């Protein structure tokens, strides 16, 4: 073992929270050779979207990495980096029982002139990212599916979807292989060691045990503020609901074979994931609990729901909470003080941005 590796082996890092932010951070740091603990009371629970233990399990896993109007700035760089890293990482986490692949492409339909104008701009500026306007034939296909006359749309050949349940299972398996220590307890508090202990931080767990660490990375979504308050850091996050409905369609239409991995229309994602079944999901900003009204709004598609939607029945539904930073852009990537970092506030694109955020944490610990 070279001396740098041996040095890392002596550095202990605890990651609090095992949603996608925590899992990917553990994966990245573990592979770099650090001694990593991943702490979350739900670690041994079933990984499941119908009764999700966190935002990640509830998610649809849509990656809109390329279909993004900016070409510079932090958000653009995180998206860009993540799309590259996802391709690398998927090859490294898959094992025989899972086949988590990036399902492509993504198609977005315009629901207003304004939206279409920005699609035209995007297709002009982002050709090299595999983005182009839909041609006449495709548009008439979507007109027939949605029983309307659409203004236009675009296709992003390299964007798509990762199935979150398969993704989490693959990562959990990889974390075992790289010997990440999983602790299925809640973190009650964290404190700084001002004495001469060689580890700077103490984590107090729900079983009354404490562990001393060199670094703590907090990825605990809405609970982040509570854990940091006693240390004088104010992190403000608010809950935002995401809701998913699975529709069972009356009959399978033969021309549905052209359905892309993701179809996005009126800010709703449509995933035709098995014969006769369509997942539809949206971010609902106004409420924190699943509501009949919000569900109905999604199903009505602003009074434009086609017959196949109107006639379908809901076969399953679930929801999850995301943590949105108040007055700050998401996500919150901060090195609060030596040895204390946060990777949280993943609101809309937590799955998409996870690899780049994990890498950012790695750079803070290791240096560029």
Ligand X SMILES: Cc1cc2nc3c(=O)[nH]c(=O)nc-3n(C[C@H](O)[C@H](O)[C@H](O)COP(=O)(O)OP(=O)(O)OC[C@H]3O[C@@H](n4cnc5c(N)ncnc54)[C@H](O)[C@@H]3O)c2cc1C
Window 68-107: residues binding ligand X (CB under 6 A): none
Q: Is residue 334 a contact residue for ligand X (CB under 6 A)? A: no
Q: Is residue 221 a contact residue for ligand X (CB under 6 A)? A: yes
Comparing CB distances to ligand X, the nearer of 152 and 160 is 160
Comparing CB distances to ligand X, the nearer of 20 and 110 is 20
Q: Is residue 355 a contact residue for ligand X (CB under 6 A)? A: no
Residue of the chain from 106, 349, 360, 365 that contacts ligand X (CB under 6 A)? 349
Cα 324 from chain centroid?
13
Q: Is residue 320 a contact residue for ligand X (CB under 6 A)? A: yes
Applying CB under 6 A, the span of 5-13, 126-134, 144-152, 242-250 interacting with ligand X comes to: 242-250
Q: Is residue 26 a contact residue for ligand X (CB under 6 A)? A: no
Q: Is residue 352 a contact residue for ligand X (CB under 6 A)? A: yes
Q: Is residue 356 a contact residue for ligand X (CB under 6 A)? A: no
Q: Is residue 260 a contact residue for ligand X (CB under 6 A)? A: no
Q: CA-CA distance, 349 to 56, in Å (whole number)?
A: 10
Comparing CB distances to ligand X, the nearer of 24 and 35 is 24
Comparing CB distances to ligand X, the nearer of 142 and 347 is 347
Radius of gyration of the chain (CA): 22
Q: How many residues bind ligand X (CB under 6 A)?
A: 41
Q: Is residue 351 a contact residue for ligand X (CB under 6 A)? A: yes
Q: 322 near 243, Cβ under 8 Å?
A: no
Q: Is residue 186 a contact residue for ligand X (CB under 6 A)? A: yes
Residue of the chain from 16, 217, 268, 358 that contacts ligand X (CB under 6 A)? 16
Q: Is residue 14 a contact residue for ligand X (CB under 6 A)? A: no
For residue 11, give Cα distances in angstroms to 21, 23, 98, 172, 360: 20, 18, 32, 22, 18
Q: Which of 228, 363, 211 is nearest to 201 (CA)?
A: 211
Q: How far is the CB of 124 from ligand X (least distance, A)?
A: 26
Cis peptide before 236 (omega within 30 of 0): no
Across 98-236, where does the E strand assignment appear? Answer: 106-109, 131-133, 153-156, 160-161, 181-183, 187-192, 201-205, 210-213, 215-218
Applying CB under 6 A, the span of 57-65, 75-83, 120-128, 228-236 interacting with ligand X comes to: 57-65
For residue 326, give Cα distances in angstroms to 227, 237, 253, 329, 343: 17, 5, 44, 8, 15
Applying CB under 6 A, the span of 14-22, 104-112, 150-158, 302-310 interacting with ligand X comes to: 14-22
Q: CA-CA distance, 208 to 220, in Å (whole number)?
A: 19
What is the distance between the terminal CA atoms of the chain, rounded to a whole angstrom? 22
Residue of the chain from 33, 65, 160, 281 that contacts ligand X (CB under 6 A)? 281
The first and second tokens of residue 84, run together, are 């590259």
Q: How far is the CB of 231 from ligand X (least distance, A)?
A: 14
Q: Is residue 40 a contact residue for ligand X (CB under 6 A)? A: yes
Residue of the chain from 12, 350, 355, 365 that contacts ligand X (CB under 6 A)? 350
Q: Is the four-CA dihedral 273, 277, 281, 287 of positive or negative sign?
A: negative
The first and second tokens of residue 351, run together, are 């799955």
**Residue entry with tokens 């079933």:** 46
Q: How many CA atoms lie within 13 A of 308 on its CB side?
A: 16
Cis peptide before 331 (omega within 30 of 0): yes
Q: Is residue 219 a contact residue for ligand X (CB under 6 A)? A: yes
Residues making contact with ligand X (CB under 6 A): 16-22, 39-42, 53-56, 58-62, 186-187, 219-221, 223, 242-244, 281, 319-320, 322, 344, 346-352
């Amino acid at each position: 073992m070279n001396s740098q590796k041996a040095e890392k082996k002596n550095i202990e890092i605890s990651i609090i929270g095992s949603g996608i932010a925590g899992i990917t951070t553990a994966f990245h740091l573990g592979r770099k050779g650090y001694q990593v603990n991943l702490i979350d009371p739900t670690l041994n629970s079933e990984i499941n979207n119908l009764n999700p233990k966190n935002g990640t399990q509830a998610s649809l896993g849509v990656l809109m990495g390329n279909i993004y109007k900016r070409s510079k700035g932090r958000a653009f760089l995180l998206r860009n980096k993540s799309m590259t890293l996802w391709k690398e990482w998927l090859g490294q986490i898959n094992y025989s029982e899972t086949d988590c692949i990036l399902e492509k492409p993504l198609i977005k339909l315009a629901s207003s002139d304004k939206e279409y104008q920005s699609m035209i701009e995007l297709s002009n500026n982002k050709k090299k990212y595999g983005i182009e306007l839909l041609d006449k034939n495709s548009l008439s296909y979507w007109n027939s599916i949605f029983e309307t006359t659409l203004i236009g749309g675009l296709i992003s050949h390299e964007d798509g979807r990762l199935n979150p349940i398969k993704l989490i299972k693959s990562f959990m398996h990889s974390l075992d292989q790289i010997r990440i220590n999983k602790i299925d307890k809640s973190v009650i508090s964290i404190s700084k060691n001002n004495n001469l202990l060689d580890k700077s931080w103490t984590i107090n767990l729900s079983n009354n045990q404490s562990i001393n660490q060199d670094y703590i990375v907090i990825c605990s979504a809405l609970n982040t503020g509570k854990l940091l308050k006693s240390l004088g850091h104010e992190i403000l996050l608010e809950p935002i609901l995401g809701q998913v409905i699975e529709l069972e369609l009356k009959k399978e239409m033969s021309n549905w074979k052209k359905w892309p991995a993701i179809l996005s229309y009126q800010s709703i994602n449509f995933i035709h994931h098995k014969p006769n079944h369509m997942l539809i999901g949206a971010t609902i900003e106004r409420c924190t609990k699943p509501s009949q009204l919000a569900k109905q709004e999604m199903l009505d598609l602003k009074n434009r729901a086609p017959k196949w939607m109107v006639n379908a029945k809901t076969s399953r539904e679930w929801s999850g909470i995301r943590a949105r930073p108040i007055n700050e852009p998401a996500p919150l990537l901060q090195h609060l003080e030596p040895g204390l970092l946060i990777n949280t506030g993943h609101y809309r694109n937590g799955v998409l941005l996870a690899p780049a955020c994990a890498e950012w944490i790695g750079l803070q610990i290791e240096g560029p």
